Amino acid sequence: MKSRNWVRFFLSNLLIGGLTTGVIGFALKWSEYKVLFSEFDIMEILSILFWLFGVGLIFSVISQMGFFAYLTVHRFGLGIFRSITNWNLAQIVLIVFVLFDLVYFRHQFFASENEGISSYVIVALYILLVGLVVAYFKRTSTNKEAFIPAMFFMIVVTTIEWFPALRVNEEDWLFLMLIPIQVCNAFQLLMLPKFTNAKKS
């Protein structure tokens, strides 16, 4: 990738992270923030939006670090397992392991007494569903061999990037971080070829 295209790719992802976090932040706290809109408190709205946008930039940087780390890991994986089939099997095992951890270990650590496991299963299923959808579009836009690596990135790498919020385990922070990271990761996965192949203007 040419340096100019890489800068455009980086800045585009930063903007997406900032804007997505701003929207999600207001949506999660709408019951509190709607008063500001009804009172037309522009300064307070802008200050909150500015803070959320800044947090979103951090999420975007985390997402991009994870993406380029995965590109390196993917190359190492192909070299170690010596075939795409074996590497894909290893990635499937890791996907299952991470999804199991998201349900079982989170329930063990954070569930209150008599709390059911269903909410933890729903979160894991949501992450799986997003991973499947993004992987499908990646496969459609490239080739069928891209499906498993795309799923691995959208599930395993996203969960690793999400870990700071998982440790805190506050519902608002969980989704405030998860959704922008998923959006940034999906953008990188689907749009990288277009930036890589873009001609220098």
Q: Give residue for tokens 């922070």.
A: 173
pTM above 0.95, yes or no: no
For residue 116, is it left (φ>0), alpha (ψ between -120 and 50) or beta?
A: beta
Residue spans of the domains in the chain: they are: 3-196
Please state, rounded to an integer, the average pLDDT across all residues of the chain: 88
pLDDT of residue 201: 36
190 pLDDT above the threshold of 60: yes
Q: What separation in angstroms does the CA of 61 have from each of 39, 70, 126?
A: 34, 14, 23
Phi then psi dihedrals of residue 90, to 5 deg = -65, -40
For the stretch 53-100, pLDDT in tens is 999 999 999 999 999 999 999 888 888 888 888 999 999 999 999 999
CA atoms of 170 and 166, how far apart (whole Å): 8
Angle at 134 between CA 128 and CA 186, to 5 degrees: 105
Sequential DSSP letters for 118-134: HHHHHHHHHHHHHHHHH
Query: pLDDT band at 1, cuts 50/70/90?
Result: low
What does the pLDDT read at residue 199?
44
